Amino acid sequence: MDLFDLSDDVVVIIGGTGVLGGSMAVGLATAGARVAILGRNAARGQARVDEINDSGGQAVFIAADATQRTALEHAHQQVRAQFGQHTVLVNAAGGNNPNVTVGEHLAFEDIKLADLEASLDLNLVGGIFLPCQVFGPSMAANRRGSIINIASVSGHIPLSGVGAYSAAKSAVLSLTRFLARLWAEKGVRVNAITPGFFPAEQNRRLLFDADGNPSARGQEILNHTPMNRFGSSEELMGAAVFLAAGPASSFVTGTDICVDGGFLSTTI
């Protein structure tokens, strides 16, 4: 189990206030890492920090908007002051925007450019580009680090209605591979995790009816998932710890781990 020991690691997790990012933060802390959770929702961020600290871990919350470079630079300084040089960066910020979701109430040609730009800002610019610009170089200079970007099955196949989100997440996968090549000889590994369908606040109405049964869309997803169930956020912990742990994944870079119950195996 020494392969997965993160007691010498400092993890920055952007978007750790969400369900999936927060669960990964707990998993990384359980493996011994000191964790800095960055996000915009102070209440949820502090609640996750309290959960980690109450369990014997070490975590802090730092308010930061991932789409604002100055906010990330300030957060970078705060992380260094609290824990020293970070060794792991998890980019978990992102989400679909209903203003760019094509469907009954919105045609593709009616998507406003400002809404498209906002979606790209959240999922690509703030989702990976700016955080890697701000937090990546110090890891490269230190010749040690692991960057974990959270992608989506929509980045592999453009799911119906979410073309803008799919385009942004496809770019996340591409930029992950680019950075893996760029920093490979500088000791920084860059990989992605593609979650399948995990019920959370933002997609619960999509996956379930008011009575708690799978919606028509939710049932369609289950029909395409060989395991015939949705994922639980805790099931992302193992992949995150594996990619964060240098001894366990020292020769792994530029790849994408799908944690999707087999969803993509039936659609690609």
Catalytic residue IDs: 165
d(CA 214, CA 208): 4
Planar angle of CA 115, 135, 132, nearest 5 degrees: 45
Bridge partners of residue 31, in order along the sequence = none
- Concatenating the DSSP letter of every residue in 65-117 gives -TT-HHHHHHHHHHHHHHHSS--EEEE------GGG--BTTB-GGG--HHHHH
- Residues in the chain, overall count: 268
CB atoms within 10 A of CB 191: 24
DSSP 252: -
d(CA 240, CA 244): 6
Give the containing element (helix H, strand E) for 207. Answer: helix 204-207
d(CA 175, CA 193): 13
Indicate the pairing of strand 58-63 with strand 88-91: unpaired
What does residue 188 show for φ and ψ, rounded to 5 degrees? -110, 120
Three-state SS at 228: coil
Output Rg (C-alpha) for the chain, integer angstroms: 18
